[in-house]
Amino acid sequence: MGRAGLRYALLRLPLTLSVMCIQPMDKLQKKKLKAQFKENEQNELRASIPMSIENLKDLLTFLNRKSAPECEHTLAESIKFLESQNLNPAVIVPWLNEHGCFCDCEVICNVYNDVGDIVEWHLDENT
Protein backbone atom coordinates (compact mmCIF):
# COMPACT_ATOMS: atom_id res chain seq x y z
CA MET A 1 0.00 0.00 0.00
CA GLY A 2 1.42 3.36 -0.99
CA ARG A 3 1.39 6.58 0.98
CA ALA A 4 -1.81 7.76 -0.66
CA GLY A 5 -3.57 4.49 0.20
CA LEU A 6 -2.31 4.62 3.77
CA ARG A 7 -3.43 8.23 4.15
CA TYR A 8 -6.84 7.30 2.78
CA ALA A 9 -7.09 4.34 5.18
CA LEU A 10 -6.08 6.53 8.14
CA LEU A 11 -8.65 9.15 7.19
CA ARG A 12 -11.36 6.50 7.16
CA LEU A 13 -10.20 4.91 10.42
CA PRO A 14 -12.19 7.08 12.85
CA LEU A 15 -15.37 6.54 10.86
CA THR A 16 -14.75 2.79 10.68
CA LEU A 17 -13.94 2.57 14.39
CA SER A 18 -16.99 4.57 15.39
CA VAL A 19 -19.20 2.26 13.33
CA MET A 20 -17.52 -0.86 14.72
CA CYS A 21 -17.27 0.39 18.29
CA ILE A 22 -19.15 -1.85 20.70
CA GLN A 23 -21.33 0.05 23.07
CA PRO A 24 -21.40 -1.12 26.69
CA MET A 25 -24.56 -2.99 27.61
CA ASP A 26 -26.97 -1.47 30.01
CA LYS A 27 -28.31 -3.54 32.90
CA LEU A 28 -31.59 -4.33 31.14
CA GLN A 29 -29.81 -5.65 28.03
CA LYS A 30 -27.51 -7.74 30.20
CA LYS A 31 -30.45 -9.12 32.17
CA LYS A 32 -32.31 -10.03 28.96
CA LEU A 33 -29.24 -11.78 27.52
CA LYS A 34 -28.73 -13.78 30.72
CA ALA A 35 -32.39 -14.78 30.75
CA GLN A 36 -32.21 -15.82 27.09
CA PHE A 37 -29.03 -17.84 27.75
CA LYS A 38 -30.65 -19.62 30.70
CA GLU A 39 -33.78 -20.33 28.67
CA ASN A 40 -31.69 -21.77 25.82
CA GLU A 41 -29.78 -23.98 28.27
CA GLN A 42 -33.03 -25.22 29.81
CA ASN A 43 -34.54 -25.92 26.39
CA GLU A 44 -31.47 -27.93 25.39
CA LEU A 45 -31.57 -29.88 28.64
CA ARG A 46 -35.32 -30.47 28.33
CA ALA A 47 -34.84 -31.72 24.75
CA SER A 48 -32.08 -34.10 25.90
CA ILE A 49 -34.29 -35.93 28.44
CA PRO A 50 -34.93 -39.38 26.91
CA MET A 51 -38.40 -39.79 28.44
CA SER A 52 -41.44 -37.64 29.04
CA ILE A 53 -41.31 -35.05 31.79
CA GLU A 54 -44.11 -36.94 33.54
CA ASN A 55 -42.11 -40.20 33.44
CA LEU A 56 -39.08 -38.40 34.86
CA LYS A 57 -41.16 -36.89 37.68
CA ASP A 58 -42.64 -40.32 38.36
CA LEU A 59 -39.15 -41.87 38.46
CA LEU A 60 -37.97 -39.27 40.97
CA THR A 61 -41.10 -39.74 43.09
CA PHE A 62 -40.71 -43.54 42.93
CA LEU A 63 -37.09 -43.38 44.09
CA ASN A 64 -37.90 -40.85 46.80
CA ARG A 65 -40.88 -42.75 48.26
CA LYS A 66 -40.92 -43.48 51.98
CA SER A 67 -40.96 -47.25 51.38
CA ALA A 68 -37.93 -47.19 49.05
CA PRO A 69 -35.18 -49.60 50.03
CA GLU A 70 -31.83 -48.23 51.09
CA CYS A 71 -29.61 -47.43 48.11
CA GLU A 72 -27.53 -50.43 47.05
CA HIS A 73 -25.24 -48.17 45.00
CA THR A 74 -26.73 -49.51 41.78
CA LEU A 75 -29.47 -48.33 39.47
CA ALA A 76 -31.58 -51.39 40.30
CA GLU A 77 -34.63 -49.45 41.50
CA SER A 78 -34.39 -47.00 38.60
CA ILE A 79 -34.19 -49.83 36.08
CA LYS A 80 -37.08 -51.62 37.81
CA PHE A 81 -39.18 -48.47 37.45
CA LEU A 82 -38.16 -47.89 33.83
CA GLU A 83 -39.04 -51.45 32.87
CA SER A 84 -42.38 -51.23 34.69
CA GLN A 85 -43.20 -48.20 32.53
CA ASN A 86 -42.05 -49.91 29.31
CA LEU A 87 -39.18 -47.42 29.02
CA ASN A 88 -35.87 -48.56 27.57
CA PRO A 89 -33.10 -48.55 30.23
CA ALA A 90 -30.49 -48.89 27.44
CA VAL A 91 -31.49 -45.42 26.28
CA ILE A 92 -32.16 -43.76 29.64
CA VAL A 93 -29.31 -45.10 31.81
CA PRO A 94 -26.60 -43.44 29.65
CA TRP A 95 -28.42 -40.11 30.05
CA LEU A 96 -28.54 -40.67 33.81
CA ASN A 97 -24.81 -41.45 33.77
CA GLU A 98 -24.12 -38.21 31.86
CA HIS A 99 -25.75 -36.40 34.77
CA GLY A 100 -23.60 -38.17 37.36
CA CYS A 101 -26.17 -40.81 38.28
CA PHE A 102 -24.61 -44.20 38.84
CA CYS A 103 -26.92 -45.33 41.64
CA ASP A 104 -30.49 -44.64 42.71
CA CYS A 105 -29.68 -42.06 45.38
CA GLU A 106 -27.60 -40.12 42.84
CA VAL A 107 -30.59 -40.07 40.49
CA ILE A 108 -32.60 -38.25 43.14
CA CYS A 109 -29.85 -35.76 43.99
CA ASN A 110 -28.13 -35.16 40.66
CA VAL A 111 -31.11 -35.22 38.33
CA TYR A 112 -33.00 -33.10 40.81
CA ASN A 113 -30.16 -30.56 40.85
CA ASP A 114 -29.98 -30.50 37.04
CA VAL A 115 -33.65 -30.57 36.08
CA GLY A 116 -35.78 -30.15 39.22
CA ASP A 117 -36.83 -26.63 38.32
CA ILE A 118 -37.31 -27.47 34.64
CA VAL A 119 -39.63 -30.40 35.33
CA GLU A 120 -41.17 -28.67 38.35
CA TRP A 121 -40.33 -31.45 40.78
CA HIS A 122 -38.99 -30.47 44.18
CA LEU A 123 -37.72 -32.64 47.00
CA ASP A 124 -39.55 -30.75 49.73
CA GLU A 125 -42.89 -31.29 47.98
CA ASN A 126 -42.32 -34.96 47.15
CA THR A 127 -40.99 -36.59 50.29
Residue 29 has pLDDT above 70, yes or no: yes
Contact 126, 61 (CB under 8 A): yes
Question: Which tens digit of pLDDT belongs to each residue from 34-88?
Answer: 999 988 988 898 899 999 999 999 999 999 999 999 999 999 999 999 999 999 9
Total-model pTM: 0.70
Angle at 99 between CA 97 and CA 100, to 5 degrees: 65
117 vs 70, more confident: 70
| Distance (Å) of CA 33 to CA 30, 39, 40, 63, 97 | 5, 10, 10, 37, 31
Confidence at residue 4, expressed as pLDDT on a 0 to 100 scale: 60
Nearest alpha-carbon partner for 125 in 74, 93, 19, 117: 117
- Percentages helix, strand, coil for the chain (3-state, rounded to 5) are 70, 0, 30
